[in-house]
């Protein structure tokens, strides 16, 4: 008997016990922890079907759970912000100034989708896609008249109609391995990608060479061919959190809808007291009559003896439930995102030292993400400049590929303290102006030029007015008064 292979409705292989539980079919029951043997390559353990199940689940959670949506967006916001302008780092400043101006304008119009998708927005969406979907793609393209353009593709557009093929039996990459839309050579290097078109029959599908396309993801295994959503480890935890939240809301709404409960001998409202607005009256199988008044505001029940008036007391959600949700479910889910829970959830609980630790952890995640999306930035910038030189829009320079980006300001909890530390480190030659301004998302050379212009303007205006420049005190230039002496005069 041959090996049994589970397949989806399209005949693509799937794994009943994939490495990530969130990759199981949605109807799979979870009765206990199962520990299968995972000793193959990571791409073997996560099939095309399981990868798509992870992608689908992660997109649902991102769209419907505020904690997921907010934290993923926060990582993208702090990683991209309002920065990422091009910075030439070559040795020809005159050429660099001209190229920076061209590239800055090009970044506003380079995306084939047009406004509002400028390049900075696409970098933010790239960060979101890496966490939510696992990866996305950058395609280098051009207009009919060879003007450079870029196109960003969502992760589900990279794939194969009939699952993996090893090796490919036809086409331009015959003999190579196709894994979840990625064509790999013998060393596991991506040499091309299979892009899915709109038509289900595959007539619009095409292969794009890796020379013209780049897949962005943060690897977690040596032998990955595709990225995995950062939610993969906690798909079921986030789903459980959503269930607990919804059921808790339902319980709170149910108890909140009842204002008072009266127990009396008649089991109904006192007609003589003028009770009106009966919505419904119902006799139960046990002979107890219940009556709803004013859309559930008051309910009457017949007691065995005597009567009483009471208010429903609800303790939902209890402190124990809250502690379990935050301490177990959410903390573990956030840990996989490498994003501190406290940064997005109840930071007011932290003291000064703890908040600095949390901010430091968030900064590390932001820096890591910036290193990933900087590859997208450099690939697009060098492509745009190379095409501009070829079209005669820019003159040639030997260091045409020497590019970097102005990054956004780093996260800080005490701007005054951080600024003083930078001043002290600069005075002691432990840092540079480039480092200091770079943390704020500025170009140090542009800032120096601005200061020179401001000083020149001050001097010119003082000459015109006939006053001394030193008489014009600017903010921060006045000396602080010396402290009074502790010695008593004799």
pLDDT in tens, the chain (490 residues): 444 455 554 555 555 556 667 666 654 555 556 666 666 777 777 888 888 889 999 999 999 999 999 999 999 999 998 889 898 999 998 999 999 999 999 999 999 999 999 999 999 999 999 999 999 999 999 999 999 999 999 999 999 887 667 788 888 899 999 988 999 998 889 999 999 998 888 889 999 999 999 999 998 888 888 999 999 988 888 888 888 888 888 887 877 776 666 666 665 555 554 444 444 555 555 555 555 555 555 555 555 555 665 666 667 777 777 778 887 788 888 888 889 888 887 766 666 667 888 888 899 999 999 999 999 999 999 999 999 999 999 999 999 999 999 888 777 766 566 677 777 777 887 788 777 776 666 677 778 888 888 888 888 888 888 888 877 765 444 444 444 444 443 3
Burial of 188 per CB tally in 10 Å (0-12, 13-18, 19+): middle
CA triple 102-105-106, angle to 5 deg: 80
- Whole-angstrom Cα Rg for the chain: 32
User: Is the distance from CB of 136 to CB of 155 less than 8 angstroms?
Assistant: yes
Residue 328 φ then ψ, to 5°: -110, -60
Count of CA atoms in the C-beta half-sphere (13 A) of 303:
14
Q: Which residues pair with 149 in a beta bridge?
A: 141
In angstroms, the CA 53 to CA 73 distance is: 22
Beta strands in 40-197 (DSSP E): 85-88, 136-142, 148-154, 177-179, 182-184, 190-195
pLDDT of residue 156: 93
pLDDT given for residue 408 in this prediction? 86
pLDDT of residue 304: 54
- Rounded Cα–Cα distance for residues 128 and 62 (Å): 10
| Predicted pLDDT at 30 | 55
* Coil vs helix vs strand at 422: helix
CA–CA distances in Å: residue 455 to residues 262, 426, 450, 451, 467: 81, 22, 9, 6, 15
What does the pLDDT read at residue 384? 97
CA 55 to CA 179: how far, in whole Å? Answer: 16
pLDDT value of residue 352? 62
Report the distance separating Cα 87 and Cα 130, nearest Å. Answer: 25
The whole-angstrom distance between residue 142's C-alpha and the CA centroid of its chain comes to: 29
Query: What CA–CA distance (Å, rounded) separates 137 from 193?
Result: 10
């Amino acid at each position: 008997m041959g090996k049994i292979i589970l397949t989806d409705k399209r005949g693509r292989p799937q794994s009943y016990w994939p490495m990530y539980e969130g990759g199981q079919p949605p109807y799979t029951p979870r009765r206990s922890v199962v520990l299968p043997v995972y000793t193959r390559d990571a791409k073997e353990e996560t099939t095309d079907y399981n990868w798509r199940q992870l992608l689908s689940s992660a997109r649902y959670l991102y769209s419907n759970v505020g904690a997921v949506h907010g934290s993923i967006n926060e990582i993208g916001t702090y990683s991209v912000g309002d920065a990422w302008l091009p910075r030439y780092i070559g040795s020809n400043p005159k050429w660099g100034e001209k190229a920076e101006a061209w590239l800055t304008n090009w970044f506003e119009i380079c995306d084939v989708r047009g406004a509002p998708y400028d390049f900075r927005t696409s970098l933010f969406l790239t960060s979101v896609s890496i966490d939510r979907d696992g990866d996305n793609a950058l395609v280098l393209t051009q207009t009919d008249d060879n003007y450079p353009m870029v196109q960003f593709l969502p992760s589900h557009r990279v794939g194969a109609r009939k699952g993996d093929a090893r090796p490919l039996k036809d086409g331009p990459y015959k003999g190579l391995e196709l894994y979840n839309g990625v064509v790999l050579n013998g060393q596991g290097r991506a040499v091309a990608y299979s892009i899915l078109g709109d038509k289900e029959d595959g007539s619009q599908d095409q292969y794009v060479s890796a020379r013209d396309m780049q897949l962005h993801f943060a690897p977690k295994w040596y032998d990955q061919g595709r990225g995995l959503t950062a939610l993969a480890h906690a798909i079921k935890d986030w789903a459980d959190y959503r269930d607990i939240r919804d059921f808790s809301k339902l319980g709170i709404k149910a108890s909140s809808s009842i204002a008072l409960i009266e127990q009396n001998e008649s089991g109904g409202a006192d007609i003589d007291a003028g009770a009106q607005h009966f919505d419904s009256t119902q006799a139960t199988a046990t002979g107890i009559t219940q009556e709803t008044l004013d859309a559930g505001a008051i309910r009457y029940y017949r007691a065995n003896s005597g009567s009483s008036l009471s208010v429903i007391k609800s303790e939902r959600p209890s402190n124990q439930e809250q502690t379990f949700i935050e301490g177990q479910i959410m903390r573990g889910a956030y840990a996989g995102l490498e994003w501190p829970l406290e940064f997005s959830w109840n930071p007011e609980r932290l003291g000064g030292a703890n908040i600095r630790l949390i901010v430091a952890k968030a900064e590390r995640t932001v820096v890591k993400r910036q290193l990933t999306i900087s590859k997208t930035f450099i690939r697009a910038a060098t492509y745009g400049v190379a095409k501009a030189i070829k079209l005669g829009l820019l003159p040639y320079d030997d260091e045409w590929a020497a590019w970097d980006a102005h990054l956004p300001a780093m996260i800080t909890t005490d701007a005054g303290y951080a600024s003083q530390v930078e001043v002290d480190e600069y005075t002691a030659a432990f840092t540079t102006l480039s480092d200091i301004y770079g943390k704020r998302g500025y170009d140090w050379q542009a800032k120096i030029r601005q200061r020179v212009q401001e000083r020149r303007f001050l001097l010119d205006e003082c000459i015109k007015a006939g006053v001394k420049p030193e008489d014009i005190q600017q903010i921060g230039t006045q000396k602080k008064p010396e402290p009074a002496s502790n010695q008593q005069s004799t």
